[in-house]
Copies of this chain bind each other. A is one copy, B any other.
Amino acid sequence: MQQTAPLSPEHFWETITGFQRSAAMKSAVELEIFTKIAEGNKTAKQIAEACGAVERGIRILCDSMTVMGFLTKENGEYGLTEESAAFLDKNSMMYLGGTVDFILSPMQKRGFEDLTDAVIKGGSTVTKEGSLEPESPMWVKFARGMVGMMMPSAQMIAANIGFEPDQKLKVLDIAAGHGIFGIVVAQHYKNAEIYALDWANVLQVATENAERFGVADRHHLIEGSAFDVDFGEGYDIVLLTNFLHHFDQQTNEDLLRKIYQSLADGGKVLTLEFIPNDDRVSPPSEAMFSLVMLAATPAGDAYTFAELKEMCENAGFSRNEHIPLAPMPQHLVISMK
């Protein structure tokens, strides 16, 4: 006879205490404990001295990180796991700690504070300094914090462009943010000129990155809202990354129509999105993103490919291809003019 485990509220408990683990990771990153451990500090006392904190606080924080699987502990000495060495040591090329500045910023958390009201209303209750406000400082945080997390997708986009390597390309990078999507295209295509569009405060970050990655001479700026400014014309490529999910379908269709007009014949728009299956509950990360949009925007969503295809078709794009970028949760849609 098969024995079944007794029913336990463990998963429920893990879920409602998840905010505690988010906060612990934010503190661990802010205090740079992973970096300090990588630098040779092993005991709570040593790490505390290196971090300028009280030993008791560091002991409790490091123990929690050990329970959560981000540190090892043996004979009172802490060590990094493979994952934390790669992603949480500030001196690692793959450092992702900066994401906490965005994901766990007061601005991002605010929508979730009022989530019940957002569910009742069917959209975010955040009205001031929301994600859609001009010059919202949220997007500077995004631009600064999310480069590492977005780099794999940026590489995949560049790999899917499909033009000849030495071709002259005019590229519009809409809501460029950190600028990394256009910048990586510029690295792959030596004759590509990038036009990065975003709020002026955000473009400062993109400009810094263009310099850092050595493509500043081919990186141009268009300041303002994608809905208001003149794009210009003759683009071979339009990069539309992490943008459509903030808006309703009609708004997106209007924007896609404007993009269509700005493209040269044979041009294409590459849309990067969280795209759940038609059931809207798989794959997990893509499907969960809908909740983030409910919390943060009036009418945004994680759209299915069928929905995105319909928007693109209504805007004039007759050929639309869906390319999942697994294991990353983001997908690419390539729409041809």
Interface string of A49-70 (1 = CB under 8 A from B): 0011111111111011011111
Q: Is the CB of A22 within 8 A of B31?
A: no
Q: How far is the CA of A19 from the CA of B122 in the complex (A)?
A: 20
Mask, A9-22, CB within 8 Å of B = 1, is 10111011111111
Query: What are 16 A-B contacts with C-beta separation under 8 Å?
Result: A9-B149, A11-B70, A15-B68, A18-B18, A19-B104, A31-B116, A53-B120, A54-B123, A55-B122, A56-B122, A56-B123, A63-B291, A64-B290, A64-B291, A66-B287, A67-B282
A257 near B: Cβ within 8 Å?
no
What is the distance, in angstroms, from A300's C-beta to the closest C-beta of chain B?
A: 10
| Bound CA–CA A293/B55 (angstroms) | 15
Instruction: Enumerate A276-318 residues with CB–CB distance to B below 8 Å.
Output: 279-282, 284-285, 287-288, 290-295, 301
For A294, the chain B residues whose CB sits under 8 A away are: 56-57, 60-61
From B57, B86, B96, A121 is in contact (CB under 8 Å) with B57
Chain A window 221-258, contacts with chain B (Cβ cutoff 8 Å), 1 for yes, 0 for no: 00000000000000000000000000000000000000
Set B20, B26, B30, B293: member contacting A16, Cβ < 8 A: B26
Interface size on A, residues (CB 8 A): 79
**Is A87 a contact of B9 with CB atoms below 8 Å?**
yes
Copies of this chain in the oligomer: 2
Determine the chain B residues whose CB is within 8 A of the CB of A271 once the complex forms: none
Q: A83-B7, A115-B24 are in contact. Are A121 and B54 (CB under 8 A)?
A: yes
Known contacts A73-B281, A115-B27, A284-B67, A103 near B53 by CB under 8 Å: no
- Could you give, for residues 75-92 of chain A, a 1 whenever the CB lies within 8 Å of some chain B CB and a 0 otherwise? 000000011001110000
User: What's the least CB distance linking A57 to chain B, in Å?
Assistant: 4
A116 to B30 Cα, complex, angstroms: 7
Q: Is residue A119 contacting chain B, with contact meaning CB distance below 8 A?
A: yes
Q: Is A143 an interface residue (CB 8 A)?
A: no
Q: Is A220 an interface residue (CB 8 A)?
A: no
Residues A15 and B25 in contact, CB atoms below 8 Å apart = yes
**A208 on the interface (CB 8 Å rule)?**
no
Q: Does A112 contact B (CB under 8 A)?
A: yes
Alpha-carbon distance A16/B108, docked complex (angstroms): 12
> Are A86 and B7 within 8 A (Cβ)?
yes
Distance (whole angstroms) from the CB of A259 to the closest CB of chain B: 26
Counting CB contacts under 8 A, is A327 at the interface?
yes
Beyond A22-B15, A103-B16, A280-B63, whether A27 also contacts B57 by CB under 8 A is no
A99 proximity list for chain B (CB < 8 A) = 13, 16
* In the bound complex, CA of A36 to CA of B227 (Å): 41
A107 contacts the other chain (Cβ, under 8 Å)? no
Interface status of A325 (Cβ within 8 A of chain B): no
Q: Is there a chain B Cβ closer than 8 Å to A138's Cβ?
A: no
Q: Complex: how many Å from CA A59 to CA B67?
A: 34
Contacts of A70 in B (CB 8 A): 11-12, 15
Indicate if the CB atoms of A287 and B26 lie closer than 8 Å. no
Q: When the two chains form their complex, are residues B119 and A288 in contact, meaning their CB atoms are under 8 A apart?
A: no
Counting chain B CB atoms within 10 Å of each CB, the highest count among A19, A31, A51, A113 belongs to: A19
How far apart are the CA atoms of A72 and B62 in the complex, in Å?
A: 37
